[in-house]
Chain A
Amino acid sequence: MWDNLSLKQVAKYAQDPYPSIRKWVKEKGIKAVGSTIADVPEEVIYAFGLLPVTILGTNKPLKKAPSRLPDNACSLARSNLELVMSYEGDLFDGFVLPQVCDTTQHLSDIWRIVLPDRYVESYLAPRQVTRPSARYWVREEIERLIASLSRWCGKSITDEDLKKSIRIHNENKALLKDIYKIKRKTPSAITNKELFSLFKLSMQLDKTEFNRSLEKIKKGLKPEKKDGYTDVILVGITCDPPEVYDLFDEINLNVVGDTLVTGTRYLQGVVDENGNPLEALTGRHFKRGFFSPIHDNVYKNFEEIKTLYQKTGAKAIIYVHIEFCESQEYDLPDLKKMIKQEGMPIHVMDTEYQTLSLSHLRTRLQAFFESLKGGSL
Chain B
Amino acid sequence: MSEKLNSKELSKKITNDYLDEAFNAHEKGKLVGYTTAISPVELFVAHDVIPIYPENHAVANLTAKKGAELCSVTESMGYTSHLCAYARSDLGYRETGMTVTRGIPKPDIFMACNAQCFTLTKWFQVLARRGNLPIFIFDTPEFIMDKKAREEIIKYCVVQLKELIEWLEGITKKKFDYDRLREVMKYSAEASILYKKFLDMAQYKPSPISIFDCLIGMAITVYRRGTPEAIEYYKTLCEEIMENKVNKGIGVLQNEKYRLYWENLPVWFKFSDHAKLLGSYGGVILTSLYVHAWSFEFDLSKDPLVTLAENYVSRFSNSTIEDRANMALDLFKRYDMNGMIMFMNRSCKAVSFAVPSLKDILTKKTGIPALVFESDMGDQRFYSEAQIRTRIEAYFETLDRFQRKTA
CA A330 to CA B401, docked complex, whole Å: 46
Quick check: B125 and A330 within 8 Å, CB to CB? yes
Assembly CA distance A133 to B164 (angstroms): 11
* Any A CB within 8 A of the CB of B368: no
Instruction: Report 28 cross-chain contacts, Cβ distance below 8 Å, ordered by A residue.
Output: A69-B356, A72-B346, A102-B349, A103-B353, A105-B118, A105-B353, A106-B142, A106-B354, A107-B353, A109-B354, A109-B357, A110-B353, A110-B354, A113-B360, A122-B142, A127-B114, A133-B156, A137-B156, A296-B135, A326-B83, A326-B118, A326-B119, A327-B122, A329-B79, A330-B79, A330-B123, A330-B125, A336-B78
A103 x B129 contact (CB < 8 A): no
Interface digits, A98-133 against B, CB 8 Å rule (1 contact, 0 not)? 011111011111100100000000101011100111
Instruction: Tell me the bound Cα distance from A330 to B352 in angstroms.
Output: 19
In the bound complex, CA of A105 to CA of B119 (Å): 11
B165 lies within 8 A of chain A by Cβ = no
The listed residue (A72, A140, A299) touching B152 by CB distance below 8 A is A140
Contact B321 A106 (CB under 8 A): yes
Q: Is B133's CB within 8 Å of the partner chain A?
A: no
What size tier do the contact residues of chain A reach?
Answer: 35 or more
Chain B residues, Cβ within 8 Å of A324: 80, 82
Would you call B119 and A102 a contact (CB within 8 A)? yes
CB neighbours of B84 from chain A (8 A): 326
Q: Is A298 an interface residue (CB 8 A)?
A: yes
Cα A359 to Cα B82 in complex, Å, equals 25
Q: Which of A289-348 contact B (CB under 8 A)?
A: 292-293, 296-299, 324, 326-327, 329-334, 336
Partner of B163, one of A100, A127, A133, A293: A133
Chain B residues near A134: list those with CB within 8 A.
139
- Which chain A residues border B137 with CB–CB below 8 Å? 127-128, 296
Whether A70 contacts B118 by the Cβ 8 Å rule is no
Nearest chain B CB to A107 CB, angstrom units = 8
Tell me if A136 counts as interface (CB < 8 A to partner B). yes
Asked if A296 and B121 make an inter-chain contact with CB atoms under 8 angstroms apart, the answer reads yes
How far is it, in angstroms, between the C-alpha of A108 and the C-alpha of B142 when the chains are bound?
10
- Is A144 close to B, CB under 8 A? yes
How many A-B pairs have beta carbons closer than 8 Å: the answer is: 134
What is the distance, in angstroms, from B351's C-beta to the closest C-beta of chain A? 9
Cα(A127)–Cα(B352), bound, Å: 21
Q: Contact between A124 and B141 (Cβ–Cβ < 8 Å)? A: yes
Known: A110-B357, A140-B152. A327 touches B118 (CB 8 A): yes
Q: Which residues of A contact B356 (CB under 8 A)?
A: 67-70
Q: Is B337 an interface position by the 8 A CB rule?
A: no
A133→B142 contact, CB < 8 A: no
Knowing A102-B353, A127-B118, the reply to whether A136 touches B83 (Cβ < 8 A) is no
| A69 touches which of B118, B135, B353 (Cβ 8 Å) | B353
Residues of B within 8 A of A140 (CB): 152, 155-156
Whether the pair B126, A330 counts as a contact (CB closer than 8 A) is yes
Complex Cα distance A68/B354, Å? 8
Give the complex CA separation of A228 and B354 in angstroms: 50
Please name all residues of chain A whose beta carbon is closer than 8 Å to the beta carbon of B83 when the two chains form the complex: 326, 329-330
Say yes or no: A105 contacts B142, CB within 8 Å. yes
Is A244 part of the contact surface with B, judged by Cβ < 8 Å?
Answer: no
